[in-house]
């Protein structure tokens, strides 16, 4: 089982702290402008349904300095996220990336290396893809030169001003969840049998999706679902009852939070809390929502399955 520690690395001012603040602390993206540069290593423990910790390495700290015990750090890391500022000259960042990859892979060959080509919001579509191609090509060539052709590196174009950073994080975290194939199959069956267009299992706190069915994720549906969660959380915090006893409840107790929104374009959004941290959000066409009782039944089956899936593993 992979350790669920995530390390954020990158040159200084590449946006690591901003990513962390936006994804895990709901900071509005434009406020990240005022973040001060991180002076020392910060370690955040994200208490969500899976426990993962994000280590934010300040860009100016050399991880491979003798002062750090990098071997013991990286042996426990599940994913290394390397952030590259796409609006800046990225050659320095690439050089740093190549060194880092070489060192890290030697320590921990199973680590997932994810490159976030960050701050792409200012770039045109054509330029984005060119930048990605260039970075990918250089990395591939460079690593081939040092004999690491087959190190799996994933590249993501991200920006904190839209949902791309959430999607990229989702994909990273999904790689750290061993139950993902099962979860995905459950969702596939659920979607097929309930005529659901698209179903996501969200981590409510971070709006990262833990799993989805295997049909392609389109940006619109993801955005509307994550906005849906925001709406529910906001309304819940205004009108909902106190939730202090939430964490003290029996972990197997089913949560009753649910919401249904019928949109004007004949789509129905259904949200159903799966457990303390997870919520199922699915999009159904209004035509297929006529037998809502059946869908409700299917959701309950899915909920039970997810509960048993995670309780058995843990």
Partner 1 sequence: MSKSSFSSKPAITYSKVAATYSSRTQKPIFDYQDWALQTQGSVNSLSPSPDFTKFAIAGRELLEILALNPNPTRTPIRIKNFSSGNTHEKNTSCNDVKWGNTFSENYLFTCSPLGDLNVWDIDSSQNISKFTDHSRAIHSIDISKFHSSYVLTASQDGLTKLWDFREPHSAQTFRGNSEAARDVAFSPSEINEFVVAYDNGTVQKWDLRYSKSPSLKLSAHNGVALCIDYTPNGSLLASCGRDKSIRIWDISNNQRKAFSTINTIAPVNLVRWEPSEANNATCRLASSSLVGDDTINLWDVPRPYIPHRSLNHHENNVTALQWISPNVLLSSSRDGVLSQSRPNDAISYIDLMPSSAVSWSTNGLIAFSSNSKKSFNSRPQVHRTPSRESNISSLKTALHAKQEPHLSKQNSGNFSELSSSQDNIQLSTASLFHNTCHQFVQLAKSYQLAGEISTACQQNAKLACHFGAYEAQAMWDFLFFSSLSPSHREHFLSMDDYEFSLSDENHSISTKNKSEKSQHSSAESEALSDDFFESLLSSSSLSSSILSVDYEDNLDKAVSQSLNQRTELGTSTNSRKDGIPSFQGGRNSISSLHFFDSVASNVSAHSQYDMPNSLHQGSITSASNKSRDYGTSLGSLSNRTSIFHEQFSFGAEEQPPTDLMDVVTSSIVQCIDESDVQTGASVYLLFSAFPINIPRPQLDDLIDSYVGLLRRMGMFCEASYVVKHSSQVVKYKYSANRDLSFGYRSNSKAFTKNVYSKLERCCFCELPLNGIITSCHGCGHLGHESCLRDWFFNESAEEGLLCPVPGCGQVCLG
Which residues contribute to the site for partner 1 (CB under 8 A)? Answer: 125-126, 128-129, 132-133, 136-137, 140, 149-150, 152-157, 171, 181-182, 184-186, 188-190, 192-195, 213-214, 216-221, 287, 291, 294, 297-298, 301-302, 304-305, 308-309, 312
Beta carbon of residue 279, minimum distance to partner 1 (angstroms, whole number): 18
Q: Please state, in angstroms and rounded to a whole number, the distance separating the CA atoms of residues 79 and 113.
A: 6
Q: Of 88, 176, 106, give the one whose Cα is nearest residue 143.
A: 106
Q: What six digits make up the tokens of 16?
A: 């690591």
Q: Determine contact, residues 78/176, Cβ cutoff 8 Å.
A: yes
Can you give the C-alpha Rg of the chain in angstroms? Answer: 21
Nearer to partner 1, 57 or 116 (CB): 116
C-alpha distances (whole Å) from 131 to each of 47, 81, 136 are 35, 18, 8
Q: What six digits make up the tokens of 40?
A: 């020392």
Nearer to partner 1, 186 or 225 (CB): 186
Q: Please state, in angstroms and rounded to a whole number, the distance separating the CA atoms of residues 86 and 159.
A: 10
Nearer to partner 1, 73 or 269 (CB): 269
Residue 167, SS3 per DSSP: helix
Q: Please state, in angstroms and rounded to a whole number, the distance separating the CA atoms of residues 198 and 268.
A: 11
Beta carbon of residue 85, minimum distance to partner 1 (angstroms, whole number): 17
Beta carbon of residue 34, minimum distance to partner 1 (angstroms, whole number): 29
Nearer to partner 1, 235 or 294 (CB): 294
Nearer to partner 1, 41 or 123 (CB): 123
Beta carbon of residue 109, minimum distance to partner 1 (angstroms, whole number): 14
């Amino acid at each position: 089982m992979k350790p669920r520690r995530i390390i954020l690395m990158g040159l200084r001012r590449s946006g690591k702290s901003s990513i962390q603040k936006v994804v895990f602390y709901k900071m509005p993206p434009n406020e990240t402008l005022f973040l001060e540069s991180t002076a020392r290593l910060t370690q955040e423990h994200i208490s969500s349904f899976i426990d993962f910790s994000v280590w934010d390495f300040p860009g100016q700290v050399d991880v491979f300095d003798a002062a750090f015990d990098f071997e013991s750090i990286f042996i426990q890391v599940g994913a290394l996220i390397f952030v590259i500022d796409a609006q800046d000259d990225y050659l320095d960042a690439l050089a740093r990336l190549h060194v880092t990859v070489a060192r890290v892979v030697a320590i921990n060959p199973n680590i997932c290396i994810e490159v976030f080509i960050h701050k792409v919001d200012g770039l045109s579509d054509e330029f984005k893809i060119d930048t990605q191609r260039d970075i990918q090509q250089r990395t591939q060539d460079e690593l081939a030169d040092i004999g690491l052709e087959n190190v799996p590196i994933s590249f993501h174009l991200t920006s904190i001003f839209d949902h791309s950073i959430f999607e990229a994080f989702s994909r990273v975290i999904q790689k750290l969840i061993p139950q993902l194939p099962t979860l995905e199959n459950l969702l596939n069956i659920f979607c097929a049998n309930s005529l659901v267009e698209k179903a996501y299992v969200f981590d409510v706190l971070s709006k990262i999706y833990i799993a989805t069915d295997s049909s392609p994720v389109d940006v619109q549906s993801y955005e509307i679902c994550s906005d849906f969660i925001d709406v529910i959380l906001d309304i819940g915090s205004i009108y909902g009852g106190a939730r202090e006893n939430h964490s003290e409840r029996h972990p197997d107790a089913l949560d009753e939070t649910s919401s249904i929104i019928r949109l004007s374009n004949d789509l129905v959004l259904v949200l159903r809390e799966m457990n303390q941290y997870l919520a199922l959000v699915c999009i159904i066409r209004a035509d297929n929502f006529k037998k809502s009782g059946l869908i409700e039944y299917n959701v309950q089956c899915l909920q039970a399955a997810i509960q048993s899936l995670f309780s058995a593993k843990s």
